[in-house]
Amino acid sequence: MKANQKFKGFCKNNSGYTQVVGGLIALLVVIAVGAMIFFQVIDSFDGTSDEANDTINETKDMGETVFGLLPIIALVLVAAVIIGVVITMGGGSKF
């Protein structure tokens, strides 16, 4: 209930879309910086055994998958903002 009230107040705010764009840019920057830090750290590990090397390689592969999929979250958020703008331009209610 409280989340819906906050969302209604956010939609009525004219600067809300600016905040969303700023949040999306911040999200993309955090993803990029996180990926750079992750790959710098994972490359610094030296495995002393075959099992350690396998674990490092599996972690690196999983990180590549995760960081490859994270920008999709930003694309979905951009699409949601665009849909919200189109709905309000078409005379629909802002919730």
Cα 36 vs. chain centroid, distance in angstroms? 15
| Number of domain units in the chain | 1
**Structural domain includes residue 95:** no
**Structural domain includes residue 7:** no
Predicted pLDDT of residue 7: 55
**Structural domain includes residue 2:** no
**Domain housing 78:** 21-89
User: What is the DSSP secondary-structure string of 5-44?
Assistant: HHHHHHHH-TTHHHHHHHHHHHHHHHHHHHHHHHHHHHHH
**Structural domain includes residue 94:** no
pTM above 0.75, yes or no: no
Predicted pLDDT of residue 71: 85
Which residue stretches of the chain have pLDDT < 50? 1
